[in-house]
Chains A and B, each alone.
Chain A
Amino acid sequence: MADITDHHATATATHAEGQQHPLRLYLLVWGLLFVLSAMSYMVDYVGLQGLMRWSLIVIFMLLKAGLIMAVFMHMAWERLALVYTILLPPLAVLVFLAIMTVESDYTFLTRAAAFASP
């Protein structure tokens, strides 16, 4: 019983202090997201091509995603038990990505060999 009340007390206590973070941090992230979006748009506007284009697009994308998750979604202040639960499973997608890259290359080559147009 004492355990339950105590647990509840800690829960409400963290609630009260909860996810209260400095306004300046939010505004900074907000500004950064604008800048990063503008920069990824510029990559297209300027017309960069090839490796430069793809690497910049992915870098800006990951920076934006990281800022949103860490600060706006408060992931930076959550317990590791939750952080790992959410962030580790999507890594399986990378395996699927590798499989589908090989698979779609194979389809591409098969189509080329069979002279199929679509």
Chain B
Amino acid sequence: MAETILHAKRPEGIVADWSSDQRAFKRISWGKAMMWIFLLSDTFVFSIFLLGYMSARNSTQSEWPDTDKVFSLHVGGVELPLLLIAIMTFILISSSGTMAMAVRCGYARARRPTAALMALTALLGASFVGMQAFEWAKLISEGVRPWSNPFGAPQFGASFFMITGFHGTHVSFGVLFLIIIAAKIWRGEFDRPGRTWLKSGAGDYEAVEIMGLYWHFVDLVWVFIFAFFYLW
């Protein structure tokens, strides 16, 4: 027992943690550890999508479409490059901020602020998905298909739909789970005793943090998509 405490206080206890019996991730609940491991696997999925996009773009003989022009918006007679994408980026960062605040309120056991902030996060996430749907509709109406497009290299469409589609799906599922957890918190289910699939007892708000991990990850993936797909 004394050993466990000793290791917990030493950062270099990583070898001790991993070589110990029963659990490697000490002081971390299984729910949080599992979410992190799921996110690690998701990291590989998105990495491989981005690598596939890089390979397609690197190996094509035709000119890659200019994202500045493809994703521009006309506002008041001026053509602004990547405007919608920039707005989407800011919306997702805002939602990440509100989610971080929700996690903080959750650990302070502030029931209604936690639920409200999660609902706001879900709303921002939903508006992100809405803009993505607008973007898809715009590009499809302009003739972009997974196998061809009027702007340049035909591989552009496949990369675009695959990467943004998979990311948008992640956001959509995040919104769904945010709403479920926010509703449960608002109704006070997290303050009642007893174990459910989301809590181990009264006042156990860790599910908010685990939800937050997923949500921040979705934002994290967008950072990479924004840099490599839209800006590059």
Q: Which residues of A contact B (CB under 8 A)?
A: 2-3, 6-7, 10-11, 14-15, 18-21, 23, 26, 29-30, 33-34, 37, 40-41, 43-45, 53-54, 57-58, 60-61, 64-65, 68-69, 71-74, 78-82, 84-86, 89-90, 93, 96-97, 100-101, 103-105, 107-108, 111-112, 116-118
Contact = CB atoms under 8 A, between A and B. Distances in A.
A102 B90 CA distance: 35
Interface in B217-232: 217, 219-220, 223-224, 226-228, 230-232
Contact of B209 (A41, A74, A107): A74
11 contacts: A10-B8, A40-B226, A40-B231, A41-B82, A65-B224, A73-B216, A85-B40, A90-B47, A101-B54, A104-B55, A118-B153
Nearest to B86: A41
Contacts of A10: 4-5, 8, 27
A15 B206 contact: yes
A80 B24 CA distance: 11
A82 B30 CA distance: 12
Contacts of B4: 7, 10
A112 B59 CA distance: 10
A36 to B, nearest CB: 9
B61 A117 contact: yes
B87 to A, nearest CB: 10
B61 A116 contact: yes
B14 A3 contact: no
Q: Tell me the interface secondary structure of chain A in the complex.
A: helix
Given A2-B1, A37-B226, A44-B82, 4 more contacts: A40-B231, A68-B219, A74-B209, A104-B59
A80 B93 contact: no
Contact of B227 (A20, A26, A61, A68): A61
A81 B24 CA distance: 7
Nearest to A87: B40
Contacts of B93: 30, 33-34, 37
Contact of B231 (A11, A44, A107, A117): A44
B166 interface: no
B58 A82 contact: no
B44 A93 contact: yes
Given A44-B82, A86-B40, A93-B47, A100 B55 contact: yes
A72 B206 CA distance: 14
A79 B18 CA distance: 11
Nearest to A14: B27
Interface string B195-229: 00000000010100100110011011001101110
